[in-house]
Amino acid sequence: MSKNFPTLGNSAIASKTPLLSNLDSSKSFFARVIDVNIEPSGEGQSIFQTSGGWANIGCIKFETLNRSSNNPGTTFPQGSIAIPLDNNIKKIPALHEIVLIHSGPSPKSLQSGDSDSIQYFYSTTTVWNRSHLNMLPSINSSASDTKNNINTETVAEGIQNTEEQVITEPLPGKTFVEKSTIRNLYPVEGDVLMEGRFGNSLRFSSTARVSGSNTQSPWSQEGSDGKPITILRNGQGVEDAFNNWFPIYEDIQTDDSSIYLTSGQTIPVALASTNFASFGVDATPIASTTKILQEIPLNGPTISAKEADSTGSVSDIVNVEPKEPTENTGSND
């Protein structure tokens, strides 16, 4: 086995003091994300290089919320790098979001036998309780660099914006675009919800009939309580709401795409068009079309669908029978 991956038997820790003997590893504190290891970089001071490169993709660099205080985490003897607390299910934070930092054991305790060696882990928080974005910039960030040097009399008279007056807001990342229309999902009693930042979600829910309530889920109009339903949605339907803080339900009509796995629920789906002319079918009236199709005789129960299809017929069994051309004129008259 490689020396980079020692076992407990051949590591120096076997003869050392217990792990974290001189450190209270139970202390946790809140911190602000100032960088995220997402892209490779050859710059020596980049987070990619200082955090360990590819091995720690998804880790963050953080700072305490009050850098002048003496609370735990003001100084970081192990560095200000934290890795996800759970690497199987992880949520990559955006810049300026708040995370909870936990101290824990480090692989260096096995590799070098340093029982006091620790590393930091992070778990995400939602200070605004939003699934989309939860930035809480520092007062020392670029958001506080206002050009507030215009008196109220000038403002009252009306002025034009200039480059000196524009406030530079902190960005959540290099490609992350904040959208005010992304809203949280409305939960049903007993739900298990997984919500992405961009209107994509997975709901494990059930029929929950609430009489006289205007917040009843759209799939609970019929059926008995407790019937399971699973909804996979990709892209929230765009709607102009008076209050974008109001949670919403999935809408099969307006969402970009979705999959509904039902068990007795009724999901009304509106057809985009009833014009089936390109298929050679007249969809209106439905009753007449169904009657014509039902009157078509079967050639035999053992004949395949391909053999039973009358592809050689010159007549249209759905609409009207076309006139055959005459031998003399070749016209349809």
Query: Do residues 120 and 18 share a domain?
Result: yes
Q: What was the pLDDT predicted at 88?
A: 92
Which pairs count as long-range contacts for 235-242, CB under 8 Å and 24+ apart, including other chains? 235/198, 235/199, 235/200, 236/181, 236/182, 236/183, 236/199, 238/181, 239/181, 240/181, 241/181, 241/183
Q: Is position 331 within any domain?
A: no
> Quick one: pLDDT at residue 124?
95
| Same domain assignment for residues 255 and 278 | no
Whether 2 maps to a domain, the answer reads no
The range of the structural domain enclosing residue 228 comes to 192-261
95 and 120, same domain (yes or no):
yes
Residues 189 and 210: beta-carbon distance below 8 Å: no
Classify residue 62: in a domain, yes or no: yes
Task: Tell whether 253 is covered by a domain.
Answer: yes
Q: Quick one: 247 and 278 in the same domain?
A: no
Predicted pLDDT at 149 = 54
Note if the pTM is more than 0.85: no
Q: Are residues 294 and 200 in the same domain?
A: no
Low-confidence ranges of the chain (pLDDT < 50): 1-2, 5-24, 68-74, 142-147, 285-296, 316
The total of structural domains in the chain comes to 3
Question: Is residue 290 one of the residues assigned to a domain?
Answer: yes
pLDDT of residue 245: 86
Cβ–Cβ under 8 Å, residues 199 and 236: yes
Q: Report residue 47: phi and psi, to 5°.
A: -65, -30
Domain boundary residue, one of 69, 92, 124: 124
Give the CA dihedral 10, 13, 18, 22, nearest 10 degrees.
Answer: -170
Looking at the structure, tell me whether residues 20 and 85 fall in a common domain. Answer: yes
Mark which of 103, 124, 145 sits at the end of a domain. 124
pLDDT at 329 (0 to 100): 54
Contact partners, residue 98, CB within 8 Å, separation at least 6:
30, 31, 32, 33, 65, 125, 127, 134, 136
Q: Pick the closest to residue 90 from 37, 41, 27 (CA basis).
A: 37
Residue 156 has a pLDDT of 65
Residue 151 included in any domain: no
Q: Which of 236, 261, 286 marks a domain boundary?
A: 261
Residue 185 lies in a domain: no
| Residues 206, 229: Cα–Cα separation, whole Å | 5
State residue 212's pLDDT score.
Answer: 78
Q: What pLDDT, in 10s, does the model give residues 275-286? A: 777 777 665 544
Would you give the distance in Å from CA 50 to the centre of its chain?
29
Contact (CB, 8 A) for 115 and 13: yes
The answer to whether residue 172 is domain-embedded is: no
Query: Are both 208 and 118 inside the same structural domain?
Result: no
Same domain, 19 and 105: yes
Residue 82's nearest CA partner among 42, 134, 118, 132 is 118
User: Which amino acid makes up residue 293?
Assistant: L
